[in-house]
Structure 1
Amino acid sequence: MTTFEERTTVHAFRDDALGEHDAVGLAEAIRRGEVGALEVARDAAARVRAVETRLNAVQVHIDVPAHGRGAGGALAGVPTFVKDNTDYLGLPTGHGSAAFAPRPARRHAPFVRQLLSSGVTVLGKTRLPEFGFSPTTEYEDSEPVRNPWHTDYSAGGSSGGSAALVAAGAVPIAHANDGGGSIRIPAACCGLVGLKPTRGRVVANAQGRQLPIDIVTDGIVSRSVRDTAAFLAAAETHWRNPRLPPLGLVEGPAERRLRIGFLLDSPNGVRSDAATRAAVTETVATLERLGHTVEPVELAIDPRFTEDFLTYWGMLSFLIGVTGRTLGADFDRRRMDGLSRGLREAYLKNWQRTPGVLRRLKRTREAYATAFRGLDLVLSPVLAHTTPPIGHLDPTVPYPALIERILAYVAFTPVNNVVGTPSISVPAASATEDGLPIGVMFSGRPGDERTLLEVAFALEADRPFRRVQDL
């Protein structure tokens, strides 16, 4: 194993127009005229070029002067990237797959329009694992996305390219989406803030809207809590779901004291490793010191939840294999990677279970609601063990071993996707022996992103999050 002294750390922080600003700070500097939006875009593009050869995070890079900048909005002029499973007018959408040749999108996806309404400048598209199925951004036939904190390790997935760029300081925020943990997992791996909003908080994802259970929600990854809060407030000015309570701009911790439940091990029986358990227990101690009441809680979900979610996951791969020609006329499901093929083949052996799987998954919201009786939030690990090295979850690993490793790793996040509830990953105060970040996760009631942001603000204020540029 690489020692701390031998580690390879990558970051782009320098004395330029971006400095060490987060998105809110950078937007304020642009509004005050201290820096120009075009200067910021050019410097961000230079930062991306500086780290890309070592991180492999970018799928498509836009020529900034030819594409202009956001003209208004709370985050006007802030550079960002869109994840390459979401359409951006004129750019190909590849979904991380070698199974087809992507063609340029004819229009912006609805979420991209919502993102652009905040005034951001899009510099390109970030890489993801094939169809977002994997919790690491690795491939059979190309270089993996690497973690800026230590390039021998995974950046997480599926929003791994976005997380790597933000953590490395190339851009302050980047688009991410989450169908089983894909915002929160890379946030945990890369020391970022990653909030999966309530289902319906932002405009519906086109793919998720067609599913029997819409598990996919869009958002961002960021280096500060206020950036995530600012994005959600800006998104709400573009479109607000009248069925959810308004959120507005959350600007800091609340005065109220919360009742928070915590769990160390996954409800599906997966036991967390020692470093992850320590990160949660340290967070419990901090919350108690801040005046909150924290107590153990049980989430009594159906013991078949993991198997059911895996079946649902396999159904998605099967559906892509059937409908893939809508992505490209040359789509060939035989060129899908080992994880996608394994999921599809496993589903075909058990497809008749689908009606029961859907019924049980939909009932998960009852167990979730029961766990929240008398509680405001639930604290847990994001992942059952710390960030794995590159190769551990590579899609070339034989499927039986690969899926066993994935299920032993992604043991907490999918519940929120099935139930549709909000959940946030924030960096813990502690780190691994190699100095890698560890994330802890707060889950909330439907529509209650405010409480998640307030407790995240409190933790950030108590002990500012570690920064890769300080290593």
Structure 2
Amino acid sequence: MTLSMSWSEWADHDATALAERVRQGDVTPAELAAQAAAAIARVNGALDAVVEVFDDLVADPLADGMRPEGVFAGVPYLMKDLGPTLKGRRQEFGSMLMQGHRPADDSFLTRRIRRAGLNILGRTTTPEFGVCSAAENRLHVTRNPWNTGFTTNGSSAGTAAVVAAGVLPMSHATDGGGSIRIPAGATGNIGLKVSRGVFSLAPGLSDLSGLVSIQGCHSRSVRDTAAFVDHCRGGAPGEFMPFWTPAQSCCDLIRTDPSPLRIAMSHEWGDHRATPHFVAELERVGRLLEGLGHHVEWRLPPVDFRAAFAAQTTCYISNFAQVIAGHLARLGLERPPEELLEPINIKIWEAGLGLSYSERAAMQAVFNTTSRAFGAFFEDWDIVLTPITALPTPRIGAVDYLTSSTNPSVHDWFDHLWRNFAYTPLANLCGIPAISLPLAMQESGLPLGIQAQARQADDGLLLQLAAQIERALGGQWNGGMRPTVHVPSDRPEVAATRRGPASSPL
């Protein structure tokens, strides 16, 4: 098969550039789809990141109602295997329990994505029900394209791998406590978690009932993420809460630099601390921002972190337990079969079903006080800057973070998560925006995302700051380095290992 672009050319284009090529008549959506399918075939053996390709949408990108006149003009896109539904197509949540499950309808966001001109032509991997920090189970072991001995983190595991490896410029992700930002940080992608009231969870949930869950994407350019937000945002009829519209579109906002910002740096969140190397990388990025004219200081939001993490744990247990209970009822099962559901998820189901209204009310009270504390902090500071994680990205086979863990205590299992993933979940609790930017490196040679968080509805400010940094770097995120498993490489199917620590990209 003759492809429309060389592999280097393909990987050099972001989604905006591909869409412009379509509008100019250089390529067609069908040619883009064929190239994306070939790219998946080229690297998926090494990465195990794609669950399924929809061959009918490779052959005919218009078959499911994609609008080629949308801003992305037929650019290929993959959907994480949970979240928005695709009518009649499998959605299996990374779980043996859900094999063969086919939703009856498209979700509201699915229709928005297609209206924006994205061709949803397959599914990416996720851990079971998106609960744990890596897609690593009996169904899939998704590997990091920078070094396949390591995980991508999760739960947007497959998306992180395909975007980093140059398969696609953009792919779907979800975030209930960091699942957009954490894998973006470990693979060198851009990952924005928006505020509440941006992307709809209709018809199955609302921002009120979902509470911490957010939809989004991974990309390799700020303008792609900005366009995705601008063209996919908005509430469905009957939302429980208003969906806000910014005074200025994100695409317009990112064309200019922000005014000098007050940026607080922090890494000591309650009982949790980043490694010395991560702290040094954070300090270096702080100096970069000072060089761009911003004021940077060490400052910590006045939050009761122990109470906040405990409340977040209660939220996860109660929410996920009800998701599992709903599917058990649909399947006519009284309890999860041990051969079909992983041990920690069974424990979550057991613990969550017994939670009382009083416990949930106490959780919501902590959500309120935590959100108010962050709100007061953002009266004096524009941005809070942290590493994306406190500890290095785990190697494949580190079961402590997986729902296949045999930890007898589900609460201890969650406490173990917070030791590494301390900096992301409270943005979900508060409903504030946060972004992971590929600005640093781990000692292993993997990327290290630096997270910026802002006040409610300042999503555009985060993108504006990201665009300023992108311009300052000449567009060279990750210091211009690319993963060892990458579509343009001579042998992308071979998982080469980067040897020794990489130099910092700034």
TM-score when scaled to structure 2? Answer: 0.84
For residue 386 of structure 2, what is the amino acid of its counterpart? S
After the TM superposition, which residues 193-232 of structure 1 pair with which residues of structure 2 at under 5 Å, given as runs?
Answer: 193-204=190-201, 206=203, 208-209=205-206, 212=209, 214-232=211-229
Q: Retained in 2: the 8 A contact 1:17–1:35? A: no
CA distance in 2, matches of 1:388, 1:174: 23
Q: Structure 1 residue 45: deviation in Å? A: 0.3
Q: Structure 1 residue 143: deviation in Å? A: 3.1
Gaps of 5+ in 2: 485-506
Q: Structure 1 residue 404: deviation in Å? A: 4.1
CA distance in 1, matches of 2:321, 2:235: 35
Q: Structure 1 residue 94: deviation in Å? A: 0.9
Q: Which residue is 1:358 aligned to? A: 364
Structure 1 residues 55-104: Cα deviation after superposition (integer angstroms, max 9, x where no partner): 11112210034442432111112111011113112211111111233332
Judged with a 3 Å threshold, the aligned counterparts in structure 2 of structure 1 residues 33 and 389 are, in CA distance, closer, same or farther, namely same
Q: Which residue is 2:136 aligned to? A: 138
Judged with a 3 Å threshold, the aligned counterparts in structure 2 of structure 1 residues 247 and 57 are, in CA distance, closer, same or farther, namely farther
After the TM superposition, which residues 16-415 of structure 1 pair with which residues of structure 2 at under 5 Å, given as runs?
Answer: 18-63=10-55, 64-69=57-62, 70=66, 71-85=68-82, 86-139=84-137, 141-204=138-201, 206=203, 208-209=205-206, 212=209, 214-236=211-233, 243-248=244-249, 249=251, 250-266=253-269, 268-302=270-304, 303-325=306-328, 328-329=331-332, 333-334=336-337, 335-347=340-352, 351=356, 353-392=359-398, 393-399=401-407, 400=409, 402-415=413-426
- The DSSP-based 3-state class of the residue aligned with 1:232 is helix
CA distance in 1, matches of 2:189, 2:275: 21
- The DSSP-based 3-state class of the residue aligned with 2:274 is coil
- The DSSP-based 3-state class of the residue aligned with 1:18 is helix
Q: Structure 1 residue 358: deviation in Å? A: 2.0
Q: Which residue is 1:465 aligned to? A: 477
Q: Retained in 2: the 8 A contact 1:84–1:93? A: yes
Deviates more, 1:396-405 or 1:308-317: 396-405
1:442 aligns to 2:452 (yes or no): yes
CA distance in 1, matches of 2:353, 2:236: 39
CA distance in 2, matches of 1:298, 1:212: 30
Q: Retained in 2: the 8 A contact 1:196–1:218? A: yes
Q: Structure 1 residue 368: deviation in Å? A: 0.7
- The DSSP-based 3-state class of the residue aligned with 1:276 is helix
Judged with a 3 Å threshold, the aligned counterparts in structure 2 of structure 1 residues 99 and 381 are, in CA distance, closer, same or farther, namely same
> How many equivalent pairs are there?
456
For residue 79 of structure 1, what is the amino acid of its counterpart? P
Q: Which residue is 1:5 aligned to? A: none
Deviates more, 1:268-277 or 1:236-245: 236-245
Q: Structure 1 residue 315: deviation in Å? A: 1.0
CA distance in 1, matches of 2:287, 2:213: 33
For residue 277 of structure 1, what is the amino acid of its counterpart? V
Structure 1 residues 432-467: Cα deviation after superposition (integer angstroms, max 9, x where no partner): 222100001111111111110011112222222025
Deviates more, 1:237-246 or 1:159-168: 237-246
Q: Retained in 2: the 8 A contact 1:138–1:144? A: yes
Q: Retained in 1: the 8 A contact 2:145–2:187? A: yes
Q: Structure 1 residue 402: deviation in Å? A: 4.3
- The DSSP-based 3-state class of the residue aligned with 2:97 is coil
Q: Retained in 2: the 8 A contact 1:162–1:175? A: yes
Q: Structure 1 residue 278: deviation in Å? A: 1.9
Structure 1 residues 290-326: Cα deviation after superposition (integer angstroms, max 9, x where no partner): 1101122222222311112112111123212321236
